[in-house]
């Protein structure tokens, strides 16, 4: 290697510091135009289209994906393809965000006359407000950087990172405007872990077979036998489907610590008479929160009539 290991590490750290500084300078460039852009996108009845060439195109594609997954219908259109027919994908109900750091990207600027003729609202993200794109867009957002972190000040690095940060800022503002909630996010991400947690209902994962059930008045030794057979670490005291109480491993241990006399008692004397329950139709994520907040290992599940429907275990989370 031409550089030593220490030099490489220092170079990596210096690059990150430089980019962090570039992004921090973006804060003071966000002003009235940003609020106008958010309002424009929020009030549009159609889609928000992202368009950019080269590295800016890759950033535009990522911003479109972020918008689409957070409540703002969006997609990416390549400027060259748009100029050769894909403009038909864009309607006057849409908003298009055109990205070009120089503001002079020919493939992007060539679209402006057609977009204006069609009455499509345009937002520019540029480094220079007085560039061709900056001057001709309906709303112009600037994100100027001092220089690229590239040693030759050529490869888009700080400029693309700052553009991405500005796109994320727009996405977050739009989420707030639309009151976008975790449940909404889950609907757009059904295949992800968050989607599964938020879309899964308690009834989908609760235990329903061979539940460890005992009747009121059951002797403790018999209750212990039912607990062992059920292998859920609990015994549920029920009468005609109604929950009368719950005995956990912890309840049993505390009772036995008091002495052998506990074995002469019945389940009613050592049970928790008002156990925590959750409706079977509630979200799995809500059950998870209850169990973690209350520090309990088992949660009884009820149906719409309040009858016992199943058991949820901490190990199911």
Beta strands at 213-214 and 139-142: parallel, antiparallel or unpaired = unpaired
Question: Which secondary structure element, helix H or strand E, spans residue 199, and what is its range?
Answer: helix 193-199
Rounded CA-CA distance 189/239 in Å is 42
Residue with token string 């994906």: 65
Residue labelled with tokens 């549009």: 44
Q: Which structure tokens are listed for 2?
A: 């031409």
Cα-based distances in Å from 311 to 95, 217, 314: 50, 21, 10
User: Strands (DSSP E) along 73-155, which ranges?
Assistant: 74-76, 95-99, 121-126, 139-142
Please name every residue paired with 140 in a beta bridge, in sequence order, or none if there are none.
124
Q: What is the DSSP letter of 140?
A: E
| Cα gap 280→44, rounded to integer Å | 39
Q: What is the b/e burial string over 277-286, where b = at least 16 CB atoms within 10 angstroms of the residue's CB?
A: bbbbeebbbe
Is position 58 annotated in a ligand binding site? Answer: no
Name which of 230, 232, 235, 309 is nearest 266 in CA terms: 235
Integer Cα distance of 241 and 254 in angstroms = 27
Annotated binding site for Zn(2+), which residues?
78
Annotated binding site, which residues?
78
């Amino acid at each position: 290697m031409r550089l030593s290991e220490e030099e490489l590490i220092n170079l990596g750290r210096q690059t990150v510091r430089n980019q962090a500084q570039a992004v921090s300078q973006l804060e003071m460039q966000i002003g009235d135009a940003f609020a106008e852009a958010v309002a424009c996108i929020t009030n549009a009845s159609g889609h928000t289209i992202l368009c950019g060439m080269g590295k800016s195109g890759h950033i535009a594609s990522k911003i479109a994906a972020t918008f689409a997954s957070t409540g703002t219908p969006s997609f990416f259109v390549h400027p060259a393809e748009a100029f050769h027919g894909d403009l038909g994908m864009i309607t006057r109900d849409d908003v298009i965000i055109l990205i070009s750091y120089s503001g002079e990207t020919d493939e992007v600027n060539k679209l402006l006359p057609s977009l204006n003729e069609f009455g499509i609202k345009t937002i520019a993200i540029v480094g220079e407000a007085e560039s061709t794109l900056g001057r001709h867009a309906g709303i112009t957002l600037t994100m100027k950087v001092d220089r690229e972190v590239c040693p030759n000040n050529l490869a888009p690095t700080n400029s693309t990172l700052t553009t991405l940060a500005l796109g994320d800022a727009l996405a977050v503002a739009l989420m707030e405007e639309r009151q976008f909630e975790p449940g909404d996010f889950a609907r757009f991400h059904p295949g992800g872990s968050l989607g599964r947690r938020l879309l899964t209902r308690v009834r989908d994962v609760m235990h329903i077979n061979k539940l460890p059930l005992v009747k009121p008045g059951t002797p403790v030794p018999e209750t212990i036998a039912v607990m062992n057979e059920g292998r859920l670490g609990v015994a549920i005291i029920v009468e005609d489907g109604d929950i009368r109480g719950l005995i956990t491993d912890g309840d049993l241990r505390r009772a036995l610590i008091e002495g052998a006399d506990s074995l002469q008692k019945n389940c009613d004397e050592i049970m928790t008479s008002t156990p925590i329950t959750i409706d079977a139709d509630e979200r799995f994520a809500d059950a998870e929160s209850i169990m973690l907040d209350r520090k309990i290992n088992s949660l009884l599940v009820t149906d719409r009539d309040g009858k016992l429907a199943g058991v949820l275990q901490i190990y199911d989370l």
